[in-house]
Structure 1
Amino acid sequence: MPRHTPLHLALALTLVGVTVAVPAGPAHAADLADTFDGATVGTTPAGWTVGGGGGDATVADVAGTGDRSLRLTDTSTAAPVTATRSFGVTSATVVANARLRAAQTTAVVGLHLDSVAGHTVTVAMDGAGRLYTYSGATRVDLGAYTANRWYDVRIVARPGTSTASVWIDGQRRATNLSFRVGATSLAAVQVGVAAGDTGTAWVDDVRTKTEPNPVSWPQVGTVAPRSAAQIGSSKLIVGAETLDRDYTDYQSYKGYLGPLGATRARFQAGWAKTEKVKGSYDWAWLDTVVNDAVSRGVRPWLQTSYGNPIYTGGGGAGLGGQVPSSAEALAAWDAWVRALVNRYSDRVDEWEIWNEPNLGGVDTTVYADFLVRTATRVRAAQPGAVIWCCALAGVERSYADAVLTRVRSLGKLDLIDGITYHPYNANPDASYEQVRLLRVTADSFSPDLLIRQGENGAPSRPNSFGALGELNWTELAQAKWMLRRTIADLGRGISTSVFSISDLHYPSKVNSKGLVRTGTDKKVRYAKPSYYAIQSAAALFDDTMTPINGYGYTDDTTSPVAVQAFRKSGTGRQSVALWFNSATPGDDNTRTPVTVTFSAGSFADPVYVDPRTGAVYDIPAANWSQSGTSYTFTGVPLYDSPILIADRSVIGL
């Protein structure tokens, strides 16, 4: 088949566009979530309309995955085939997501957000192996694609400004795109194979979410994501655990690591996975992970865990297990730790010793002695290593106190740099009195002893495995929870790890705390809203944004409000995060206008930012005033997810 010229491509998609028919939808804009998994193979799924006349669109099994998707088959070179799903006419911002796959690189396959005037925003695959979109009538290249590979597509379309942004596989590839046609509202999502081509396309996980503008203030842009390599230095970490037990698939999610913006990742080094034959180490799996993460600007933070069942008394090989105990097992542990640190010391400078010993009921003296034993070997191999202890399940400061008391009695406190903890609370804001007391405990041993939030997250769906899994979570509630934990920690100067980059497939259930959703094959299906929320937070709060303690704040609401303020190094300009913090985040985005006053502010050009959506709005002069260092802002829309009042200079647009 001949390769398409750009003119041919434009005409091909226009042929689909001129006959757009928006099926009747609900009276008001609705959120869609079509996975097709419950639909009958060979049928057109409910709510979808097939058009174009060039073929059909039916549900089909995806070989080797246990998944079902919508498959479009175009058998005509004279007509297209389309599948359209209405979500109701809305003038609000629409966030549309879908997985898209072409069975060939010789046909034009398009994913569109439609208005009654036609294709308003398009992401397409051309007949020459290129992904592309449009800004107005101008084609914008998005990079190469390959046949039979799923692409995670996200479109944020803003009828209020007639602009859109496009993400592919978690990376923003284009922004401030002009709509292809004049439109003040959107009504449907469509996928199609263009006229003039034959071919097969697959679409899955079609999700649309309307995001009504929180204010009438003019939107001035969106937060610009920055990769880990671009950020360079921050206190934001992402969890990448359980590779040692093969509960996740690094090769599937690795492309999402760098674009997220977290500059470190927590990995479990996996003694049992590395030493399957006594005295023989197979480092290939961990070499791949460490080297790839470093290449993406993400520094690994390695945990020495768990035990190894090839040794009698080798300790538990998973969560809640006992530490190695026999002489043979401890000697083998020592040898593995030395080899581990020697192998990776040029790429890894932070180490954590065991995971949640208190969860497994490991005696504090046993753990303390094991900690000193291991830390001694780490420090001998890498004198400048940063060594973290405890990895507490919850914030059990009594356990940490007993461990460190024992370490101090042995004269080895200098081996330890900090304490890590895992504060799983349904309301993430409910843990900070415990965290304050943990800080008091740490100070009682040394004011130089750090604390780190080492593992924390919320599920994205009900009936999830692990902590908080019993609650009725949604992807929206998860995104809010993740933002509240992250910004509250950073606002206190605490390095913080988001658990986890990927859903985790335990033997019995899926732990849905991942920022990316995975299927039964552990392959990535799509980045969740929480991924994009944390991506914004990473871009907004690097190490040039320092927390301000005791920030002066008043408001006119009776609801409790969390306040975390930051100052930009060099300029002193501020970014202040605010949110209602009295309850677990919910699925309602209703906002309450609040008047807030900052007694020691520093703003030249204030804007309103919602990190969850990435939207940035100008604050009109009528809505803010200044008297010396006191700034008052009126009509600020607050809800149970963080918003920012920030100087425009500290927001990358």
Structure 2
Amino acid sequence: MPLTSFGLKGYNSYLYSHNQFYMEFLKACNKLTLVIIWLLVFLACKKDPKMMPESSTNVEVTPDPIIPHAPPLADAFGLAVPHLTHARDVDIAARYDAGVRWVRRDLSWTKVEAVQGTFDFASTDIVVDAELAMGMEILAILDYGHPDYASGSGGDSHYPPDDLADYGTYVRETVTHFKDRIDVWEIWNEPNFVNFWKPNPDPGSYGDLVLVAIYEIRQADPSAKIMLGGMLGNIDPGSYGGQPWGFLEAVLSAHPSLLSNIDILSIHPYTWLQYVEPEILSGVVNTFQIGFSEMVLNCRDIADQAGYPNIPIWITELGWHTATQAIITLGVSEEKQAALWVRSCVLAFSLGVEKVFPYSYSDGSGDLTDKESHFGMMRYLANASTTSLPHDPKPAYNAYQTMTGLLSQCGFEKDLRDDLGLLPTEFAYRFSVTNSDDVVIVAWSTGLLPVPITLNSIPKSMISTTGMNLPVSSNVINVGSNPVFIVM
């Protein structure tokens, strides 16, 4: 679960001194800057029409030959759902209807061994079996510690055990129990974040725990895939010399051969305060802030340097909250959340990410000052555990459903920005439909004004972010901050 970086060295003074007023001021400055840029471009173009960027007038999009082996995205869409929550039949069905084919779940040590020395998987079985029966797969997290095995934890389960053999027993029992149902295991969640590894994140100790887990998983289920714990973005730079994934580098420095036994890397590239847009480059907001694309590419660079250039990368958490009254960590509107889910997923696929798991299914409260409870694609439903009523969907639900419906039978083909000569605030990506000559172009702009793009033919159809059919009568398409899906 994403949390702000309160308590991390080098961050306290920043977060407390740059409050909500600062963020509003930053937004105003960004808008003013864009207005000035557009005004200068307009005046220059008025003086000399030849200076008008081609991307804003008459650019032709001529599809390249279809790449026949572009990996299909049929099972690339997941959802991070914490612990064993939101497991009613109506919730499971809603996730499947949204195109979710993977669910990330905590199979927490304290849940399956509530009584020391006794493992009980009954309640976990119910949730896992229901989601499997619906047609979804489970990414299971082996987290966290257990107060009965960690002296000095004060009842907090986020301390690692005193004896790693105890964690190994939990891993062995859990993987053995689920080996015919769960194929992918993630070792801990956000071990680089002080809230989830106490008293302080420790790369060497985490690596030691991973080695124990690897051994037990391989013994219990040799065919299982093993994933490093998803690491929280925009946390490491303050502690690891500005490196986006400095904790991961430190883990590999302490255990150089670790990746030889890891099948998948997992990252949580949340943007700064879960507010900044994914297209914003590193350092624009402050010296610590790392851009979304840079986080993904840096993870790939680390794997390359370690000798594993082809190891898959999954984004197992990502999101923007809609707690618009939260202090310091400003929320976005529900409409913007929907757009950012689509934009970040498309960017991820363009960068080679294999699967994405936005966070999360449902809001946990109606309190708009409660940031942590407002990452969901569904609105809060009071007394959800005692009713069969469905949650009310946010626009993010409809957006995810639209994206999965259009792209699940596609493979990513090409970043069109260079072909179109687009400005830095304009984005377009092409996906090829499997076993078809059709393509789907996902396009948007982060500028203040819609951008016209001229295609080489009239699209077959055009769909809005949330699934509405848009009128198409021309080969000139206007794109704004809400992505459009253009079927050619």
| TM-score of the aligned structures, taking structure 1 as reference length | 0.54
Alignment of 1:404-443 (within 5 A): 404-408=252-256, 411-425=257-271, 426-430=276-280, 431-443=292-304
> What secondary structure sits across from 2:175 in the alignment?
helix
CA distance in 2, matches of 1:506, 1:383: 45
Aligned position for 2:357: 497
Question: Are the equivalent residues in 1 in contact too, given 2:342–2:400 (CA < 8 A)?
Answer: yes
Please say if 1:291 is aligned against 2:129. yes
Question: Are the equivalent residues in 2 in contact too, given 1:351–1:386 (CA < 8 A)?
Answer: yes
Q: CA deviation at 1:334?
A: 1.3
CA distance in 2, matches of 1:393, 1:253: 27
* 2:186 corresponds to which of 338, 347, 352: 352
Please say if 1:333 is aligned against 2:179. no
Deviations 1:213-232 (A, max 9, x none): xxxxxxxxxxxxxxxxxx99
> What secondary structure sits across from 2:466 in the alignment?
coil
CA distance in 1, matches of 2:333, 2:450: 22
Question: Are the equivalent residues in 2 in contact too, given 1:354–1:391 (CA < 8 A)?
Answer: yes
Bigger RCO of structures 1 and 2 (CA < 8 A, at least 6 apart):
2
Aligned position for 1:62: none
CA distance in 1, matches of 2:159, 2:201: 6
Question: Do the aligned partners of residues 406 and 556 (structure 1) sit closer, same or farther apart at CA in structure 2, a change above 3 Å counting?
Answer: closer
Aligned position for 1:378: 217
Alignment of 1:99-110 (within 5 A): none
Q: CA deviation at 1:239?
A: 0.9
Deviations 1:81-110 (A, max 9, x none): xxxxxxxxxxxxxxxxxxxxxxxxxxxxxx
CA distance in 1, matches of 2:108, 2:412: 36
* 1:530 corresponds to which of 384, 391, 396: 396
Question: Are the equivalent residues in 1 in contact too, given 2:108–2:143 (CA < 8 A)?
Answer: yes
Question: Do the aligned partners of residues 386 and 315 (structure 1) sit closer, same or farther apart at CA in structure 2, a change above 3 Å counting?
Answer: farther
* 1:592 corresponds to which of 450, 465, 480: 450
* 1:235 corresponds to which of 76, 93, 104: 76
Letter in 2 for 1:567: S
CA distance in 2, matches of 1:560, 1:639: 10
> What secondary structure sits across from 1:424 in the alignment?
coil
* 2:467 corresponds to which of 614, 617, 621: 614
Please say if 1:545 is aligned against 2:379. no
> What secondary structure sits across from 1:404 in the alignment?
helix
Aligned position for 2:3: none
Structure 2 unpaired stretches of 5+: 1-71, 195-199, 235-243, 281-291
Alignment of 1:311-322 (within 5 A): 311-313=149-151, 321-322=158-159
CA distance in 1, matches of 2:422, 2:171: 54
Q: CA deviation at 1:448?
A: 2.4
Deviations 1:197-221 (A, max 9, x none): xxxxxxxxxxxxxxxxxxxxxxxxx
Question: Are the equivalent residues in 2 in contact too, given 1:492–1:549 (CA < 8 A)?
Answer: no
Deviations 1:109-152 (A, max 9, x none): xxxxxxxxxxxxxxxxxxxxxxxxxxxxxxxxxxxxxxxxxxxx
Q: CA deviation at 1:549?
A: 3.6
Question: Do the aligned partners of residues 473 and 345 (structure 1) sit closer, same or farther apart at CA in structure 2, a change above 3 Å counting?
Answer: same
Question: Are the equivalent residues in 2 in contact too, given 1:237–1:266 (CA < 8 A)?
Answer: yes
Deviations 1:570-595 (A, max 9, x none): 2242111111136xxxxxxx972512
CA distance in 2, matches of 1:233, 1:342: 28
Letter in 1 for 2:78: I
Q: CA deviation at 1:474?
A: 2.0
> What secondary structure sits across from 2:316 in the alignment?
strand
Letter in 2 for 1:391: G
Deviations 1:464-506 (A, max 9, x none): 59xxx72142211211121111222233331111100122469
Question: Are the equivalent residues in 1 in contact too, given 2:227–2:266 (CA < 8 A)?
Answer: yes
Aligned position for 2:375: 513
Q: CA deviation at 1:365?
A: 0.7
Question: Do the aligned partners of residues 379 and 313 (structure 1) sit closer, same or farther apart at CA in structure 2, a change above 3 Å counting?
Answer: farther
Letter in 1 for 2:189: N
Letter in 2 for 1:480: A
* 1:400 corresponds to which of 248, 259, 263: 248
Which stretch shows the higher mean deviation, 513-522 or 550-559? 550-559
CA distance in 2, matches of 1:262, 1:616: 22
> What secondary structure sits across from 2:324 in the alignment?
coil
> What secondary structure sits across from 2:314 in the alignment?
strand
> What secondary structure sits across from 2:338 in the alignment?
helix
> What secondary structure sits across from 2:320 in the alignment?
coil
Question: Are the equivalent residues in 1 in contact too, given 2:463–2:486 (CA < 8 A)?
Answer: yes
Alignment of 1:27-46 (within 5 A): none
Q: CA deviation at 1:308?
A: 1.1
Structure with the largest fraction of helix: 2
CA distance in 1, matches of 2:104, 2:210: 19
Q: CA deviation at 1:265?
A: 0.6
> What secondary structure sits across from 1:576 in the alignment?
strand
Question: Are the equivalent residues in 1 in contact too, given 2:80–2:360 (CA < 8 A)?
Answer: yes
Question: Are the equivalent residues in 2 in contact too, given 1:338–1:378 (CA < 8 A)?
Answer: yes
Alignment of 1:438-477 (within 5 A): 438-445=299-306, 446-463=308-325, 470-477=329-336
Structure with the largest fraction of strand: 1
Deviations 1:397-446 (A, max 9, x none): 221122123332xx443210122111111212231022112211111121
Please say if 1:560 is aligned against 2:425. yes
CA distance in 1, matches of 2:366, 2:149: 24
Query: Paired residues, what number?
Result: 379
Which has the larger Rg?
1
* 1:270 corresponds to which of 101, 108, 121: 108
Question: Are the equivalent residues in 2 in contact too, given 1:391–1:419 (CA < 8 A)?
Answer: yes
Deviations 1:44-97 (A, max 9, x none): xxxxxxxxxxxxxxxxxxxxxxxxxxxxxxxxxxxxxxxxxxxxxxxxxxxxxx
Q: CA deviation at 1:317?
A: 7.5
CA distance in 1, matches of 2:146, 2:255: 25
CA distance in 1, matches of 2:422, 2:172: 57
Question: Are the equivalent residues in 2 in contact too, given 1:608–1:617 (CA < 8 A)?
Answer: yes
| TM-score of the aligned structures, taking structure 2 as reference length | 0.71
Q: CA deviation at 1:318?
A: 6.8
Q: CA deviation at 1:557?
A: 7.0
CA distance in 1, matches of 2:73, 2:421: 39
Q: CA deviation at 1:316?
A: 8.9
Question: Are the equivalent residues in 2 in contact too, given 1:304–1:352 (CA < 8 A)?
Answer: yes
Q: CA deviation at 1:352?
A: 0.6
> What secondary structure sits across from 1:242 in the alignment?
coil
Aligned position for 2:160: 323
Question: Are the equivalent residues in 1 in contact too, given 2:341–2:396 (CA < 8 A)?
Answer: yes
Letter in 1 for 2:264: G
CA distance in 1, matches of 2:155, 2:430: 42
Question: Are the equivalent residues in 2 in contact too, given 1:239–1:266 (CA < 8 A)?
Answer: yes
> What secondary structure sits across from 1:377 in the alignment?
helix
Q: CA deviation at 1:274?
A: 1.5
Aligned position for 1:250: 87
Q: CA deviation at 1:255?
A: 3.3
Question: Do the aligned partners of residues 406 and 547 (structure 1) sit closer, same or farther apart at CA in structure 2, a change above 3 Å counting?
Answer: same
Percent of residue pairs bearing the same amino acid type: 23
> What secondary structure sits across from 1:637 in the alignment?
strand
